[in-house]
Amino acid sequence: MQNRKILVIEDETKVAAKIERVLRGMGAIDVRIASSSGEAIAMAQFFLPDLIIVSQNIAPENNAIFTVNSILEFHTPEIIYLLDNHSGHLITGALETHPANFVVKPFGKQQLEIAVKIALRKSK
């Protein structure tokens, strides 16, 4: 996990901080956080993450699928979508990006850890 690059795309500061704590607790060293679609796409171009954890609602565009598809045009990381309880409409579009996993908010530490382990195992 130490040599893996992880990009978290989350506009809720508390949620982003929780994700970062869990990742660092798992041994992640290189974790970056973007709070908007544009910032995430620009960051991914030079960072080239192994894993992206992306919230379904990212400001200002509120379109995780657009953001992921834009990144997939130049890089192919594993993807974990963070979903709200009422996200059925997003799942269909998200499946077209071949995500490694989905995590429903609010999530616990163990749920996120398992999703990350599965995603990083797929990226070997």
Q: With bands split at pLDDT 50, 70 and 90, how would you rate the model's confidence at 2?
A: confident
What's the total number of domains in the chain? 1
In single-letter form, the type of residue at position 8 comes to V
CATH number at residue 59: 3.40.50.2300
Instruction: Give 63's DSSP letter.
Output: -
For 45-70, how does the pLDDT look when each residue is reduced to its tens digit (9 = 90+)? 999 999 999 998 886 666 899 999 99
Q: What range does the domain containing 113 cover?
A: 5-122
Q: How confident is the model at residue 124 (pLDDT cuts 50, 70, 90)?
A: low
- pTM of the shown model: 0.94
Q: Which tens digit of pLDDT belongs to each residue from 77-120?
A: 999 999 887 666 778 888 999 999 999 999 999 999 999 999 99
* Mean pLDDT of the residues in the chain: 91
CA distance 108 to 19: 10
